[in-house]
């Protein structure tokens, strides 16, 4: 089990652009040599006294010596500028792991994942972790983005559906005519029965609130809908 959050040092091993404003960075751990974490957790990068930025881990716990962070750098603030400037060989300090947006190993209910754009990052970690663990629990992912370029892990999830019939994937982007549903409307349309379900929702605060309302109206208890707010 992961321990308490600790100060960590790492070195940038690779940087990739998944979209114009979405970057992925591999960090080779230095101290400790491996980061024990749970899928869905994040790390905190300090920028001064009481000034930090949080970045979700996109990789899985089985890659503990080389972790991957993924961020939307559109906001253009302090954290975005720092993330854009990362290059191979750069030293990085952070604290982690942090966060409770995790799927317990004892969980037997089928997870329903709802991701809005960059909210996919912790969910991607959880889904890949389930696959690597050989889990036979059926899972569903509803993935909403403003356009196809923001479905940054789309090909990966499509490949997973071909390998795993117990994984259902529903990507949605606007069609230009106002025909694409909101994440909450998509959940309302596709999720008729929540029996034996647990939900994980990540994205903007308005989306999280709307999706939770739909799921609770279906019968899920509030505590059964976990969430991670990105903006």
The string of pLDDT tens digits covering residues 168-217 is 999 999 876 656 689 999 999 999 999 999 999 999 999 999 999 999 99
Q: In degrees rounded to 5, what are phi and psi of residue 53? A: -130, 140
The pLDDT score that the predictor gives to residue 3 is 66
Question: What's the pLDDT score for residue 175?
Answer: 75
**Domain limits, the chain:** 6-98, 110-229
Coil, strand or helix at 204: coil
Q: For domain 6-98, say whether CATH 3.30.420.110 is its number.
A: no
Q: Hey, what CATH class is 110-229 in? A: alpha beta
> Bridge-partner residues for 52, per DSSP?
46
Mean pLDDT, the chain, integer: 95
User: Pairing mode, if any, of strands 52-56 and 42-46?
Assistant: antiparallel
Residues 6 or more apart whose CB falls under 8 angstroms from that of 180 comprise 144, 172, 173, 174
Q: What percent of the chain has pLDDT over 70?
A: 97
Separation between Cα atoms, residue 65 and residue 25, nearest integer Å? 14
pLDDT tens-digit map of 119-136: 999 999 999 999 999 998
């Amino acid at each position: 089990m992961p321990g308490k959050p600790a100060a960590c040092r790492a070195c940038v091993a690779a940087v990739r652009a998944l979209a114009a404003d979405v970057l992925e960075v591999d960090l080779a751990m230095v101290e400790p040599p491996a980061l024990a974490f749970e899928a869905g957790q994040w790390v905190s990068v300090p920028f001064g006294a009481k000034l930090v930025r949080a970045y979700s881990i996109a990789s899985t716990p089985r890659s503990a010596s080389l972790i991957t962070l993924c961020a939307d750098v559109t906001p253009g603030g302090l954290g975005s500028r720092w993330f854009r400037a990362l290059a191979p060989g750069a030293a990085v300090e952070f604290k982690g792991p942090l966060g409770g947006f995790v799927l317990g190993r004892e969980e037997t209910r089928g997870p329903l994942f709802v991701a809005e754009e960059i909210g996919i990052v912790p969910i991607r970690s959880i889904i890949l972790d389930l696959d690597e663990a050989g889990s036979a629990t059926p899972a569903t992912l509803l993935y909403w983005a403003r356009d196809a370029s923001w479905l940054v892990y789309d090909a990966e999830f499509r490949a997973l559906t071909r390998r795993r019939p117990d994984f259902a994937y529903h990507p949605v982007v606007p069609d230009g005519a106002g025909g694409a549903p909101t994440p909450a409307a998509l959940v309302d349309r596709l999720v008729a029965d929540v029996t034996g379900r647990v939900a994980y929702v990540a994205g903007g605060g308005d989306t999280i609130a709307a999706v939770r309302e739909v799921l609770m109206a279906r019968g899920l208890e509030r505590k059964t809908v976990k969430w991670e707010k990105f903006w």
